[in-house]
A and B are shown apart, each in its own frame.
Chain A
């Protein structure tokens, strides 16, 4: 390369660097506002549990965000602000006690599961905030705390009665439903799920339910051919949940029907929710879960997110 060209390369490079430098300084002045609203109903747990959660999660999931100076340097700050906004929206430990007790429990199990699967705290955050990492020892503390909340005991009469009442109605009026309830994303209740084949079953000791996961023909064929990551378009899952009804000998049968949930695969139509259409219908009356809230499926996606390299599906199919 002639000396002159080399020289002009150098000037160009210098120029580029100084422009970047000026931009870097300028963007420091474009700052989203992150405030810390008052803490009204803070998360409560034994100190050892609370400490882990505070250290690892509070920057994004509470009103007690504690930004270090290096979080405030742009363009990092934009990303940080974005995480905090989104993080607080889906889970805010400062509003913890304003949730119903059952929801508090559910969120805690979900939280620990997100940690176990390595989805939370966000890796981009722990790379810088190494002190926020949750160690294997921390995880044992969290798991033990969860286990201490599980009480496996024989069903009380309220649960038995709830089933009896449901059963009589269901048995006598095998539904000839004409108008099927529909979720805001347009997915209607699919009564035929009970004629499908089974993918798996599960005992959920975190919330005292038991489930059967059905798959339509497309799903069953995909299992037979072992093409399940991703699942083919047209796949539908139906997951049915019942109360656990336990007797004194530890035998558990299905109690009252709680809900049925659907996931319908269509990578075009449902692109905005990871290629799956989500729907949940509660009680035998089939009440759409999300009446009026078109964004409800984000909640489904967020909890299924740790399964992202498994097409957002938890269930490991049992070949029948």
Chain B
């Protein structure tokens, strides 16, 4: 009898064609945690991707962007800089990708570092923390961070 009921159920299921009802919970949502503050208006800068990186110890991931000159220099990769280059290194805490076991994606926005090169080797470095883009108080690592950003090689993108 139980099996007969099963069969009837199965027939209903088969014929209703509404077979499989897996659903993503957060369908249609944006990754708000990781999003940049609107006030930054980042897309309007028209920067391009130079490269991306991960720090497995700290559990962070970062994308380095730059203007045309910055990208060109990062592709040449000779370590030198010319005036008029602009870089932005954006770093996120990682989070597990709920939609794919086996991936990590950007979580909480951690920092935005900006480097601009001027005439005669003058380089300007600024760092902002978190979603509220608070200027970073400690300037101890400015030189080291500037060097790090300027030394990044571009990712191969044919």
- Chain A residues with CB under 8 Å of chain B are 69-70, 73, 75-76, 79, 109, 112-113, 116-119, 122-124, 127-128, 143, 146, 152, 163, 166-167, 170-171, 174-175, 191, 194-195, 197-198, 200-207, 210, 212, 214, 220, 223, 226, 228-229, 240, 242, 244, 246, 249-254, 256-257, 260, 284, 286, 306-310, 314, 316-320
Contact B43 A314 (CB under 8 A): no
Contact A254 B53 (CB under 8 A): yes
Given contacts A128-B10, A204-B103, contact A252 B156 (CB under 8 A): no
Binary contact readout B66-78 vs A (1 if CB under 8 angstroms, 0 otherwise)? 0000000001110
**Majority SS of interface residues in chain A?**
mixed
Contact A318 B34 (CB under 8 A): yes
Residues of A within 8 A of B99 (CB): 117, 306-307, 310, 314, 316
Contact A252 B49 (CB under 8 A): no
**B28 interface residue, CB < 8 Å from A?**
yes
Output the least CB separation between B49 and chain A (Å): 6
Contact B77 A118 (CB under 8 A): no
Residues of A within 8 A of B155 (CB): 212, 240, 242, 254, 257
Residues of A within 8 A of B102 (CB): 109, 113, 146, 204-207
Output the least CB separation between A316 and chain B (Å): 4
| Cα(A177)–Cα(B63), bound, Å | 27
**B13 interface residue, CB < 8 Å from A?**
yes
Output the least CB separation between B50 and chain A (Å): 10
Output the least CB separation between A171 and chain B (Å): 6
Contact A320 B35 (CB under 8 A): yes
Residues of A within 8 A of B27 (CB): 229, 309-310
Given contacts A76-B11, A195-B48, A309-B27, contact A205 B53 (CB under 8 A): no
Output the least CB separation between A39 and chain B (Å): 27
Contact A123 B20 (CB under 8 A): yes
Output the least CB separation between A105 and chain B (Å): 10
Residue of B6, B10, B153 near A167 (CB, 8 A) is B153
Output the least CB separation between B42 and chain A (Å): 5
Contact A246 B106 (CB under 8 A): no
Contact B14 A76 (CB under 8 A): yes
**B3 interface residue, CB < 8 Å from A?**
yes
Output the least CB separation between B38 and chain A (Å): 8
List the one stretch of B54-62, B114-122, B133-141 in contact with chain A. B54-62
Residues of B within 8 A of A143 (CB): 101
Residues of A within 8 A of B77 (CB): 167, 171
Contact A206 B24 (CB under 8 A): no
Contact A212 B63 (CB under 8 A): yes
Contact B31 A317 (CB under 8 A): yes
| Cα(A109)–Cα(B100), bound, Å | 9
Contact A310 B7 (CB under 8 A): no
Residues of A within 8 A of B11 (CB): 75-76
**Chain B residue with minimal CB distance to A68?**
B3
| Cα(A306)–Cα(B6), bound, Å | 26
Residues of A within 8 A of B143 (CB): none
Given contacts A242-B155, A319-B35, A320-B36, contact A203 B103 (CB under 8 A): yes
| Cα(A317)–Cα(B32), bound, Å | 8
Residues of A within 8 A of B1 (CB): none
Contact A318 B28 (CB under 8 A): no
Given contacts A306-B24, A309-B23, A310-B27, contact A251 B10 (CB under 8 A): no
Output the least CB separation between A165 and chain B (Å): 10
Contact B43 A220 (CB under 8 A): yes
**B52 interface residue, CB < 8 Å from A?**
yes
Contact A252 B19 (CB under 8 A): no
Can you sample 9 A-B contacts with CB below 8 Å?
Answer: A116-B101, A122-B20, A171-B77, A197-B43, A203-B61, A204-B103, A254-B53, A254-B155, A316-B30
Task: Scan residues 72-127 of chain B and give those whose CB is less than 8 A from a CB of chain A.
Answer: 75-77, 94, 97, 99-106
| Listed residue (A166, A167, A198, A250) with the most chain B CB atoms within 10 angstroms of its CB | A198
Output the least CB separation between A304 and chain B (Å): 10
| Cα(A250)–Cα(B58), bound, Å | 9
